[in-house]
Structure 1
Amino acid sequence: MFTGAMIDAPAQAGSDADASRTVLFDFDGVLFQGDAFEQFIRHRYASSPVYKALALLTMPWWLLCGVFSRRRAAWALSHVALCGLGVQRYQAIAEDFADQIVRRPRQFYRDGLSALRRHVAEGDEVIVVTGCERILVTRLLTQLGLPELTIVATQLKPGVFGMRLHSHNVGRRKVQNLAAKGVTNWRMAYTDSFQDMPMLKPAGEAVLVNGTPKLCKRVEKALGRAVTRVAWY
């Protein structure tokens, strides 16, 4: 699965020719209840006092990152939790964690998975576009019986001290990474976040999952049109 200096994205997605059948799904908050990669990092800290000690030793670094953004601080702590992991070891640990949490009750939105499977059964080109790390989300979807989906996700790469962030697939980066695969138009997009506005704007139908009235109003104002609202459990 790993064939180079970084964790490569999967090949081939849909094309503009079949844009009318292309449907995008976010993962965290749409199919998965919570943040899967954050749960993985928390698991890393909970399972070893060594990483807790490293987090304390590196506190000045990640606190400094937090001055600029909470996201940078979170990734700094993630890098600490991934310290010492090479590509193959990371893959084994991430997949083992995925195998554990896929069996947890109420960890996934059943309604979301049903909707995704329905799109697949109808012949739509379904693409999961997520900020979750690619190996982790790929394993989770495979264990759910969805191994053939195209996945556009965050990528890691090996560094001197362990695995490091290569490309965080969030916001505008999602649209850019889709365009790199030749996907620039899609019929529907499912998300739970305003951060996915770049993905919602080109969609023929924008779908907000479990959106609060405030979020729905904010998204509709930014889009200049109504969104479809769904409540998934």
Structure 2
Amino acid sequence: MLTGETTHAAADAGSTDASRTVLFDFDGVLFQGDAFEQFIRHRYARSAIYKALAFVTMPWWLLCGVVSRRRAAWALSHVALCGLGAQRYQAAAEAFADQLVRRPRQFYRDGLAALRRHVADGDEVIVVTGCERILVTRLLSQLGLPELTVFATQLKPGLFGMRLQVHNVGRRKVQNLAAKGVTRWRLAYSDSFQDMPMLKQAGEAVLVNGTPKLCKRVEKALGRTVTRVAWY
């Protein structure tokens, strides 16, 4: 199975009909915020040990920040996951997901309603996200959507704890889909310019809660108009 991809449906994603395939990003489209970031913040908030480790390793993650903010964020994530093997990580991620689904206004109801309409209409809905696989899969399952195909970021066990294996963002999303035979799709929902590769290959690109500046930038890059939706 492709790293970072989970299929709950019986059908292989590679057999999807492009005219019925619909892609949804997760963070910022279905979920209000960044779910994995909230998980990492939760781990720091409940443990003085991880806070101390973050202080001790400050030179490392500050150096990573010189290269990019994303590298620094993952360095801090690795600190927060220190000591966790695969089973303990899964238990922690799923327990946190169970908490998240009970929080009011944590999800875009309009986005979930749109997704469910596509499912009811018989479309092949695929969630393509930079969120971590176990966390996002549990969230969708708790929302009553356990049968969706999910392409997501995946971690792997390391010497000191869970580590990043594949970060499913940007062009990586399209590459992972193509590896499973999914190369065209009718609709793609996103809230980020980072998803340009995914939006470019969509028959219709949909921006969720996009600012005028972002919409203009995406349309210029695409060379065509995008559909704009405001979801709450």
Aligned to 2:128, what secondary structure does the other structure show? strand
Aligned match of 1:219: 218
Write the mapping of 1:144-223 to structure 2, written as runs, cut at 5 A: 144-223=143-222
Does residue 10 of structure 1 match 2:9?
no
Is the Cα contact below 8 Å between 1:101 and 1:107 reproduced in 2?
Answer: yes
Offset at residue 13 of structure 1 (A): 4.2
Q: In angstroms, what is the RMSD of aligned CA positions?
A: 1.5
Does residue 71 of structure 1 match 2:67?
no
Q: Deviations over 1:9-37 (max 9, x none)?
A: 32464336611000000000000000000
Offset at residue 181 of structure 1 (A): 1.2
CA distance in 1, matches of 2:6, 2:15: 18
Amino acid aligned to 2:56: L
Task: Flag structure 1 segments of 5+ consecutive residues without an equivalent.
Answer: none
CA distance in 1, matches of 2:12, 2:152: 13
CA distance in 2, matches of 1:66, 1:151: 30
Is the Cα contact below 8 Å between 1:210 and 1:232 reproduced in 2?
Answer: yes
Is the Cα contact below 8 Å between 1:14 and 1:22 reproduced in 2?
Answer: no
Write the mapping of 1:121-132 to structure 2, written as runs, cut at 5 A: 121-132=120-131
Is the Cα contact below 8 Å between 2:4 and 2:168 reproduced in 1?
Answer: no
Is the Cα contact below 8 Å between 2:6 and 2:133 reproduced in 1?
Answer: no
Aligned to 2:119, what secondary structure does the other structure show? helix
Aligned match of 1:101: 100
CA distance in 2, matches of 1:53, 1:145: 38
Cα distance, 1:13–1:206 mapped onto 2, change above 3 Å:
farther
CA distance in 1, matches of 2:45, 2:210: 31
Offset at residue 8 of structure 1 (A): 5.8
Cα distance, 1:8–1:210 mapped onto 2, change above 3 Å:
closer
Is the Cα contact below 8 Å between 2:4 and 2:166 reproduced in 1?
Answer: no
Cα distance, 1:30–1:13 mapped onto 2, change above 3 Å:
farther
Does residue 50 of structure 1 match 2:53?
no
Amino acid aligned to 1:106: R
Q: Deviations over 1:191-217 (max 9, x none)?
A: 000000000001000000000000000
Q: Deviations over 1:24-79 (max 9, x none)?
A: 00000000000000000000000000000000000000000000000000000000
TM-score, with structure 1 as normaliser: 0.96
CA distance in 2, matches of 1:89, 1:16: 34
CA distance in 2, matches of 1:90, 1:7: 17
CA distance in 2, matches of 1:203, 1:81: 37
CA distance in 2, matches of 1:15, 1:66: 38
Task: Flag structure 2 segments of 5+ consecutive residues without an equivalent.
Answer: none
Aligned match of 1:138: 137
Cα distance, 1:92–1:55 mapped onto 2, change above 3 Å:
same
Amino acid aligned to 1:211: G
Q: How many residues align?
A: 229
Amino acid aligned to 1:10: T
Q: Deviations over 1:157-193 (max 9, x none)?
A: 0000000000000000000010111100100000000
CA distance in 1, matches of 2:98, 2:160: 26
- Give me the identity figure in percent: 84
